[in-house]
Structure 1
Amino acid sequence: MTRIGITGHSNLTEEGREVVAKALGAALTPYRGGELVGISCLARGADRLFAEAVLRAGGRVEVVLPSADYRENKVKPEDREDFDGFLIRASSVRYMPHRQAGRAAYEDANQAVLSDVERLFAVWDGRPSDGRGGTADAVDAARGQGLPVEVIWPEGARRG
Structure 2
Amino acid sequence: MPVELKTPPSDDWVPSMDDLPFHRLGGEEEVKALANAFYDAMDADEPALARLHELDAQGRVNAGTRERFGLFLIGWLGGPQHYMERHGHPRLRMRHGHLPVDTGMRDAWLRCMRKALDARGISGGLRRFLDERFANVADFLRNTEG
Asked whether the two chains share a fold, i.e. TM above 0.5, the reply is no
TM-score (norm 2): 0.33
TM-score (norm 1): 0.31
Which of the two has higher C-alpha Rg? 2
Greater helix share, 1 or 2? 2
